[in-house]
Structure 1
Amino acid sequence: MRHHYRALPGLVAATFAAFTGAALAKDDTPALPTTLDYKDTFNLEYPAAPQFSPDGSSVIYERRSSDIMSDSTRTSVWQVNLDDMSHRPLMADSANAFATALSPDGSKLAYLSDAGGSVQLYVRYLDSDRTAKLTNLEHSPGNITWSHDGKTLAFTMFTPSKPASLFTNMPAKPKGATWAEPATYIERTQYRADGAGYLPDGHNQIYILGVEGGTPRQLTTGNYPNSGSLNFSRDDQSIYFSAQRDENYALHPLVSDIYKVSIDTADVTQVTDIEGPEGNPVISPDGKKLAFMQLNDRKLSYQNGDIVIMDLSDNSTTRITTGLDRSIGDYVWAQNSNTLVFSYQDKGNTRLARVNLDGEIQALDIAIGGQSLGRPYTSGEFALSQQGDIVYTKANSMQPADLALLTRSGKQTTLTNLNEDALGHLNLAKVEAMDVTSSVDDRDIDAWIAYPPNFDKNKSYPLILEIHGGPHAAYGPHFSMEIQLMAAKGYVVVWSNPRGSSSYGEDFGNLIHHNYPSEDYNDLMDVVDATIDKGFIDKDNLFITGGSGGGVLTAWSVGKTDRFRAAVVAKPVINWVSFALTADAYPFFSQYWMSDMPWEVADKLWDRSPLSLVGNVKTPTMLLTGEADYRTPISESEQFYQALRLQGVDAAMVRIPGSPHGIAGKPSRLIQKVGNILAWFERYKTDNQEQ
């Protein structure tokens, strides 16, 4: 029965509407959102791992999105046809498909999937859209690599060894008895890792498997890890890899060499023996040269490596990027075997360049990024076609990455538009660069500012200083959900790359070598002052936050100044002595971030510990850390929290259950993180700003 209630007069119509829940007045219609909100976190997507088909006519990539039901990242595989720009899914059902690797002839796609519950290796035949499951392994494979003839797949996989034990005379448990869990015996230097927890006995080893499936064959053994990228020799008779093949590998974190293992005999041969680590071996298309990364290790806290070329005919080597002085990321050979395209960090961006075998570098007018959704870190991936085209993740301050194409003729085209549906109708924070001069030594400090939606320069706004971690890392003009959410709540947000940041060369990075924190604090205060000088900041409502290294500097700052209304210290180091002996990477930190063993330089470490300044703190301070954080263990946060409580400073502690150091690894955790930060700031924000 159809109800024509609009024709009913007066009170009758109103009564009918009340009972049916109908809204009669236009003003009662719920307004559509115009600014970003927490729930929008689940709507974001970005591309990853792009690769060209051999003929260069299409691009296959991983499309990563959030699953609101499982609170996780969902990965599917899509393809873009470059002739007509059509966009279609290859594998986009309920299972995750990732770690894709296209066969050399382009007919097959190897990938990992959890379609059967556990992560296994699959091959999809692209000419028939048929899929074969190749493995049924107890542990997940990784680093999937094709042989050049397309007949064999290589991969790494964790391979258990016999658990260490000491006491072996435990009496037998009576039938039906309930005893406590047995003790865990640890006799390893590297026994736990952030994100992985306490490590089982065993290591990654290299395996090969025919493309028709069957039983994988193990090639490497030994009580040391064999991980990272793999690369077949041109004749497919051996596999190149990087490793530290010494049982004391964990005590020497920056030592590794290139090796090759024979497919037939499993004999391992050392290829390089240079002081410092070598990694990421890549064979040239003609099979005559080997490119790899090499770091001249000088025990500095920030060091840049070089791309090195080895001539396999005589094993001579040439460093081809020594004049760059930047952190180098990925690199790939051009088809002519005389040029490589590589990514590198530069002034808060990740950029691309070409380099020939004579070391002549040609920068490309491309900034890649958009894959760090939480905070505005540098990021980005790219691929090079056999024809010379480049596909890359395009950086954008207003949205996460999209795929873009740079043809060999120089034409740039955007291939995807993944977030227009989620963000296009919203009023987002606009981002601008800001030049700052350090008061310490007149150095240029790069900074960026995000303005709240509907920003009015004639009004006064609260300010949030957001500090990056690392400390040898870099922010830039990139999309950040955390920054955007802060701005959507009415804050001006500013972030920067103080001294010590990467992407500005070794000299700039090592200004804090064995001296952290120090004048990087002054750089940050200069950024705050420069923002205030713009005239629209409420000086009574300044707030500060940062995570990891940014947490260190936040805690240090509130021990140095009372200018901030409130602070949130996320996953910090508070006491360098305790951190050195509880962090998962303690062999690295004690050798590279400290001038000697922590008990030998305890006084110097204490002088740089935020805990040494805690008696000065009056700023209301919240600590926020994951309970499963082994990089900056939660015991660091607890020390600062308890010290603040002892002296009567307003303090709170937020513990994220199950979270490792990367708190924003799950969408709901990102929301919890930024939501708690803003709630803390709102508690202490005064009401005298004109908004």
Structure 2
Amino acid sequence: MRKALPIILGILGFAFLMQSQASGKPPFVSPLKYEDVFALEYAADPHFFSDSKRLLYTRRSMDIFSDTVRSGVWQIDVNTGEASPVLNDIPGLAQSTLSPDNTKLAYIASTDNGPQIFVHYLSLDKSLQITQLTTSPSHLTWSPDNKHLYFVAKVEAQVPVIFTDMPSAPPDAKWAEPARVINSIAYRADGGGYTHPGFTHVFRVSAEGGMVEQITQGEHSFTGPLTISPQSNSIVTSVNLTPSPELTPFGTDLVEVDITSKKMSQVTSRKGSESNPKISPNGKWLAYLHVEDKKMAYQLSELVLRNLESGEEQRLSAPLDRQTVAFEWAENSDYIVFSYLDSGETKLAEVRLNGDIIGLPVKVGGQALGRPYTSGEFALAKSGDVAFTHSPASHPAELHIFSRSGNITPLTALNEDLLTQRTMAEVDAIVVNSSIDNLSIDAWIAFPPGFDSSKRYPMILEIHGGPHAAYGPQFSMEVQLMAAQGYVVVWSNPRGSASYGADFGNLIHHNYPSNDYQDLMDVVDAVSARPYIDNDNLFITGGSGGGVLTAWSIGKTDRFNAAVVAKPVINWVSFALTADAYPYFSQYWMPDMPWNDHEALWKRSPLSLVGNVNTPTMLLTGEADYRTPISETEQYYQALKLRQIDTVMVRIPGAPHGITAKPSRLIQKVGNIVAWFNTYNTVPAKQ
């Protein structure tokens, strides 16, 4: 019998495989494990060669030893799919860009002396460092004549000194570090720490290296991106010329700078903010993104076309009433392909210069690896084909091609080795009508691998941040890991979310949280009514804006067994005066300065409801978070402790607002959430 057992199991396995194939579902293998985070790979940043037959893309993977995301550049043949590495495992690789003549690849990479610019000669397979900068470069751009690289970098100003009579330390003495004197409005940034005063300017350097030349001057910051005229004699970029730039978040205009004379002339002066300029290949048109500043919390960026000869302008994407994300000119300058947010997804469209918009059957995604946010990148070939990153709910971003004939072809299968050994959570989409005003709310459900509808499962509501952001049916390692632990996971786009137009987004303007809470509860009601949900085991979590709504929800209801409040705002008054982007928050999210509007802000602060909370609550925040500072978390933790609610505070050392930038932190985040929920799950989920 012992010898026959493997044969019997083999027959049973074959029968199961046949049954799975007949049902259209792959056979159950194994759910995801936490360590699988380090097995993930994804595609990013595609750009075509001029022949439209080859493209370069960035391949990103996880390094289990350095706990970082590794990046390399690969070349791939569009017709055959044959791929080969161009740059392999470059530390801090960013902003790789192909020269117009297709012979060189410029990129930024980390060195012992900070980020520097490199040029890789494709025919020689050799790289040359061409800068020795003291501040970090960004917005790397080739000149059309292939001779120069342009970039933006900070020119640091002198640090203010008030006390000048400090005595000198004796030889070999070890005194404390000197005091830091701050007099700028923007003095620290999430993910970057305390900033050095100064202004960002445009520079250029020969593609062969040499002296770095400063192109722009003055006490204003030129922010990029950059576009160079076809003759390589001028630059168009954006700069905030208002009297108080740091207090005017939407105040950038487009300017043209003559490269030889350094003379600057203003191109646009519209109300609001203009950015991301791109001159058409024929030099006749300028396209850019514009946000009309109405002092609203959710303001759409629109694609605008400007005739460089007449100055006439046309709002190309305005009829969509959707957020424009990125765009590329066609080689013949007859049309533009752009990406925009719609119903929780990033989509592509083609717009003619007469304003006609043609939707393309393409959905872009895959750059938000942790949670299912809208994201994605694309590139437009001279042939009109489009390369794009695509990420369904089942796997991270792969590279696809959309041809002008209408066909979509996958080019990469970076995660095939992992996905053939794991059964992923399946995802369904639902629509819930709000009980307040019948507003349609999109939502998605992830089912545990091996889901059996005759059984009952605990449920997690996962709430997105922003609040003007959007979830969708994209891959999310956090959702997949939660589902792999035996939970049904639900996420949605309540009112205020991006991707549904300006009116939908501003339903929470100066009123957040508000009816978005009820939208979430309506989603919970709709899903928990299904027979496979265990209503005795409901859980809630969310980060940033999702942390706000999680804390608000448990102040309103006791229906959840436990909650995890990640990187929240708890007190709008203290947040407004401690967050890094306080000039923006105080002007756009609040009707008045916090000291003038204390009562209204307090009524919308989750801390005002802490006296109602009975739900066991975990607080989870990065200690280097300057967007929603950890002092917010500490206020809520201490209030809950004073009320003797079962509470823990999980602090992630060194982590900014984006907690999951390091692979191990993604595991820490999800693992702590699931462990907390398992503690209060009356029928423990899969361990």
- What is the TM-score normalised by the length of structure 1? 0.94
Instruction: Give the Cα separation in 2 of the matches to 1:230 and 1:671.
Output: 38
Q: How does 1:164-203 map to 2 (within 5 A)?
A: 164-203=160-199
Is 1:67 paired with 2:54?
A: no
Is 1:533 paired with 2:529?
A: yes
In the superposition, relative to structure 1, how do residues 93 and 508 fare at CA in structure 2: closer, same or farther (>3 Å)? Answer: closer
Secondary structure class of the residue paired with 1:265:
coil
**Residue pair 1:460, 1:690 contacting (<8 A) in 2 also:** no
Q: Which stretch of the first structure deviates more once superposed, 407-416 or 85-94?
A: 85-94
Instruction: Give the Cα separation in 1 of the matches to 2:251 and 2:500.
Output: 25
Of 227, 233, 242, which aligns to 1:237?
A: 233
Cα shift at 1:211: 1.3
Secondary structure class of the residue paired with 2:179:
coil
Match in the other structure for 2:96: 100
Cα shift at 1:690: 12
Secondary structure class of the residue paired with 2:225:
strand
Match in the other structure for 1:209: 205
- Deviation track 1:341-362 (CA, whole Å, cap 9, x = no partner) reads 0000000000000111222111
Cα shift at 1:246: 4.2
Match in the other structure for 1:86: 82
Is 1:552 paired with 2:548?
A: yes
**Residue pair 2:487, 2:685 contacting (<8 A) in 1 also:** no
Of 508, 513, 523, which aligns to 2:509?
A: 513
**Residue pair 2:471, 2:492 contacting (<8 A) in 1 also:** yes
Of 23, 39, 47, which aligns to 2:43?
A: 47
Match in the other structure for 1:687: 683
2:294 partner letter: R
Instruction: Give the Cα separation in 1 of the matches to 2:81 and 2:666.
Output: 34
**Residue pair 1:332, 1:341 contacting (<8 A) in 2 also:** yes
Of 434, 437, 444, which aligns to 1:438?
A: 434
Secondary structure class of the residue paired with 1:446:
strand
Instruction: Give the Cα separation in 1 of the matches to 2:100 and 2:50.
Output: 7
Cα shift at 1:172: 2.6
Match in the other structure for 2:154: 158
Question: Aligned pairs, how many?
Answer: 662
Secondary structure class of the residue paired with 1:553:
helix
Secondary structure class of the residue paired with 1:61:
strand
Secondary structure class of the residue paired with 1:228:
coil
**Residue pair 1:91, 1:97 contacting (<8 A) in 2 also:** no
- Deviation track 1:598-633 (CA, whole Å, cap 9, x = no partner) reads 111111000000000000000000100000000000
Match in the other structure for 1:278: 274
**Residue pair 1:434, 1:448 contacting (<8 A) in 2 also:** yes
Q: Which stretch of the first structure deviates more once superposed, 195-204 or 480-489?
A: 195-204
Instruction: Give the Cα separation in 2 of the matches to 1:595 and 1:93.
Output: 48
- Deviation track 1:4-60 (CA, whole Å, cap 9, x = no partner) reads xxxxxxxxxxxxxxxxxxxxxx9xxxxx97110110001111111100001101010
Of 383, 402, 405, which aligns to 1:406?
A: 402
Match in the other structure for 1:502: 498
Instruction: Give the Cα separation in 1 of the matches to 2:562 and 2:37.
Output: 25
Of 322, 325, 337, which aligns to 1:341?
A: 337
Secondary structure class of the residue paired with 2:361:
strand
Match in the other structure for 1:490: 486
Cα shift at 1:371: 1.5
- Deviation track 1:547-603 (CA, whole Å, cap 9, x = no partner) reads 000000000000000000000000000000000000000010011000011111111
Q: How does 1:349-388 map to 2 (within 5 A)?
A: 349-388=345-384
Q: Which stretch of the first structure deviates more once superposed, 90-99 or 488-497?
A: 90-99
Instruction: Give the Cα separation in 2 of the matches to 1:537 and 1:135.
Output: 59
Is 1:330 paired with 2:326?
A: yes
Instruction: Give the Cα separation in 2 of the matches to 1:506 and 1:196.
Output: 31
Instruction: Give the Cα separation in 1 of the matches to 2:219 and 2:289.
Output: 24
Of 673, 677, 683, which aligns to 1:677?
A: 673
Instruction: Give the Cα separation in 2 of the matches to 1:83 and 1:637.
Output: 52
Of 415, 418, 422, which aligns to 1:422?
A: 418
Secondary structure class of the residue paired with 1:560:
coil
Q: Which stretch of the first structure deviates more once superposed, 466-475 or 417-426?
A: 417-426
**Residue pair 2:562, 2:680 contacting (<8 A) in 1 also:** yes
Instruction: Give the Cα separation in 2 of the matches to 1:659 and 1:110.
Output: 30
Of 579, 597, 611, which aligns to 2:593?
A: 597
Instruction: Give the Cα separation in 2 of the matches to 1:222 and 1:171.
Output: 35
Secondary structure class of the residue paired with 2:318:
coil
Cα RMSD (Å) = 1.7
Q: Which stretch of the first structure deviates more once superposed, 194-203 or 116-125?
A: 116-125
- What is the TM-score normalised by the length of structure 2? 0.94
Cα shift at 1:314: 2.3
Of 314, 317, 333, which aligns to 1:318?
A: 314
Of 103, 124, 129, which aligns to 1:128?
A: 124
Cα shift at 1:316: 2.0
**Residue pair 2:120, 2:126 contacting (<8 A) in 1 also:** yes
Instruction: Give the Cα separation in 1 of the matches to 2:89 and 2:60.
Output: 13
Instruction: Give the Cα separation in 1 of the matches to 2:301 and 2:402.
Output: 27
Secondary structure class of the residue paired with 1:227:
coil
- Deviation track 1:421-469 (CA, whole Å, cap 9, x = no partner) reads 1222211110110121111111110000000011111111000000000
Cα shift at 1:95: 4.2
Q: Which stretch of the first structure deviates more once superposed, 424-433 or 215-224?
A: 215-224
Unaligned runs of 5+ in 2: 1-8, 10-27
Instruction: Give the Cα separation in 2 of the matches to 1:259 and 1:394.
Output: 35
Instruction: Give the Cα separation in 1 of the matches to 2:336 and 2:79.
Output: 26
* Identity score, percent: 55
2:332 partner letter: N
Secondary structure class of the residue paired with 2:224:
strand
2:272 partner letter: G
Secondary structure class of the residue paired with 2:223:
strand
Match in the other structure for 1:660: 656
**Residue pair 1:77, 1:90 contacting (<8 A) in 2 also:** yes
**Residue pair 1:538, 1:689 contacting (<8 A) in 2 also:** no
Cα shift at 1:247: 5.6
In the superposition, relative to structure 1, how do residues 395 and 33 fare at CA in structure 2: closer, same or farther (>3 Å)? Answer: closer
In the superposition, relative to structure 1, how do residues 688 and 114 fare at CA in structure 2: closer, same or farther (>3 Å)? Answer: closer
Secondary structure class of the residue paired with 1:556:
helix
Instruction: Give the Cα separation in 1 of the matches to 2:79 and 2:470.
Output: 37
Secondary structure class of the residue paired with 1:234:
coil
**Residue pair 1:76, 1:96 contacting (<8 A) in 2 also:** no
Match in the other structure for 2:15: none
- Deviation track 1:170-226 (CA, whole Å, cap 9, x = no partner) reads 223333333221111111111111001110122322111111210110112333322
Instruction: Give the Cα separation in 2 of the matches to 1:658 and 1:224.
Output: 31
